[in-house]
Amino acid sequence: MAIVALLLLVAGVWASWDAAQHVMLSKGREHGTLTVTRCAGGSCAGEYVPDGPQRARAGMTIEESVAVKVGERFPVVVKPGSKELVRAGTAGSLYAWVPLGGALLLAALVVGGGLRMPRLGWGLAVAGGVLLVGTFFAL
């Protein structure tokens, strides 16, 4: 059961790291603001205006979520070598770690029930819940 709980947590970090690395280690990456103009097929596109001397670009995409609405503007970071964007700031950091929050909740069940360590299980559940609720209110 300990291996299952550890596997759940590692999978949560692995799933989160794809987006989180661009938000948390954003020094040297291109930052800007995205104004969403349309959403379709699981992604949203719009006009990207960089913070630096580069010129504005169209056709930049961001993953569609419940927090992305047409006409909304928010800070983003460009994934290197692509036209994909990741939401920046506190909301972006929390949103990037949502898979870890789910993994914490699942691991809490395994640790509390399977390993018979209810205090640690409750701690994992509270940590996962705080992450998910914090993300909900930040977005």
Within this chain, do residues 46 and 64 fall inside the same structural domain, yes or no?
Answer: yes
Structure confidence at residue 26 (pLDDT): 86
Q: How far apart are CA 135 and CA 94, in angstroms?
A: 5
* pTM confidence score: 0.86
Answer whether residue 92 is part of any domain: no
- CATH code at position 36: 2.40.50
Within this chain, do residues 12 and 47 fall inside the same structural domain, yes or no?
Answer: no
Q: Are strands 73-78 and 84-87 parallel, antiparallel or unpaired?
A: antiparallel
Biggest CA pair distance of the chain: 58
Query: φ, ψ for residue 124 (rounded to 5)?
Result: -65, -40
Number of domain units in the chain:
2
* Residue ranges making up the domain that contains 122: 2-20+97-138
Answer whether residue 110 is part of any domain: yes
Helix (H) or strand (E) holding 101: helix 98-109
Answer whether residue 34 is part of any domain: yes
Taking only the tens of pLDDT, the chain with its 139 residues reads 999 999 999 999 999 999 899 999 988 888 999 999 998 888 999 889 999 887 888 788 998 886 788 888 999 999 988 889 999 999 999 999 999 999 999 999 999 999 999 999 999 999 999 999 999 999 8
